[in-house]
């Protein structure tokens, strides 16, 4: 019975070592991924006269958000400034760091970028975009001679 128990322990020790090696190999990649901008979670709803877009960007100050709008798209960029590390404090765990977001949203035809209103509250950016009323096509009756 002891023979099987030793064999089982060896198997789990080897498995644990292999898992630790795999984790160590992926750490540099994980650090690079942390530097890439996150895509904020986004809700888009359409109403009769407007489009409402809500983006989650926790930890960002409104001064650190850049919005660029065209008739075809809205581009959202945001970056939390580097947290200043205080030498006085001793950290046991530090997960909060510089954070950035990026999202480019295509817009349907018929929006006016000049009418975009932006509000930022509690980590949620809300954009309201007015639609340009559709022009009714004029119909002319043509007489046949």
pLDDT at 70: 83
3-state helix/strand/coil string of 60-129: CCHHHEEEEECCCEEEEEEEECCCCCCCCCCCCCCCCCCEEEEEEEECCCCECHHHCEEEEECCEEEEEE
pLDDT at 34: 64
- What is the full per-residue pLDDT of the chain (145 aa) written as tens digits? 555 566 667 788 888 888 888 777 777 766 666 667 788 999 999 988 899 999 999 888 989 999 998 878 899 999 876 655 555 566 666 566 677 899 999 988 777 888 899 999 999 999 999 887 777 777 778 888 8
Whether residues 55 and 9 share a domain: the answer is no
Whether residues 16 and 74 share a domain: the answer is no
Q: Is residue 68 part of a domain?
A: yes
Quote the number of domains for the chain.
2
Whether residues 42 and 32 share a domain: the answer is no
Whether residues 78 and 23 share a domain: the answer is no
Range(s) of the domain holding residue 29: 1-36
pLDDT at 145: 85
Whether residues 32 and 59 share a domain: the answer is no
pLDDT at 5: 60
Q: Which residues contact 75 (CB under 8 A, 6 or more apart)?
A: 66, 67, 68, 69, 102, 103, 104, 105
CB 129 within 8 A of CB 53: yes
pLDDT at 87: 58
pLDDT at 124: 96
CB 119 within 8 A of CB 53: no
CB 102 within 8 A of CB 54: no
Whether residues 23 and 55 share a domain: the answer is no
pLDDT at 23: 73
Whether residues 13 and 57 share a domain: the answer is no
pTM, 2 dp = 0.64
Q: Is residue 90 part of a domain?
A: yes
Residue 144, Cβ neighbours under 10 Å: how many? 3
Whether residues 70 and 126 share a domain: the answer is yes
Q: Is residue 140 part of a domain?
A: no
What is the rounded distance in angstroms from the CA atom of residue 51 to the CA atom of residue 127?
Answer: 8
Whether residues 80 and 123 share a domain: the answer is yes
Whether residues 68 and 3 share a domain: the answer is no
Residue 89, Cβ neighbours under 10 Å: how many? 7
pLDDT at 84: 59
């Amino acid at each position: 019975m002891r023979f099987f128990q030793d064999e089982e322990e060896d198997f789990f020790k080897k498995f644990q070592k292999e898992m630790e090696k795999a984790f160590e190999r992926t750490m540099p990649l994980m650090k690079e991924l942390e530097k890439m901008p996150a895509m904020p979670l986004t809700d888009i709803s359409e109403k009769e006269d407007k489009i409402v877009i809500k983006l989650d960007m926790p930890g960002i100050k409104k001064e650190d958000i850049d919005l660029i709008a065209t008739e075809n798209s809205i581009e959202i960029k945001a970056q939390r400034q580097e947290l200043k590390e205080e030498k006085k404090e001793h950290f046991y765990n530090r997960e909060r760091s510089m954070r950035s977001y990026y999202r480019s949203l295509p817009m349907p035809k018929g929006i006016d970028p000049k009418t975009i209103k932006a509000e930022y509250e509690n980590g949620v950016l809300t954009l309201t975009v007015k639609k340009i009323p559709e022009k009714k096509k004029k119909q002319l009756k043509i007489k046949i001679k």
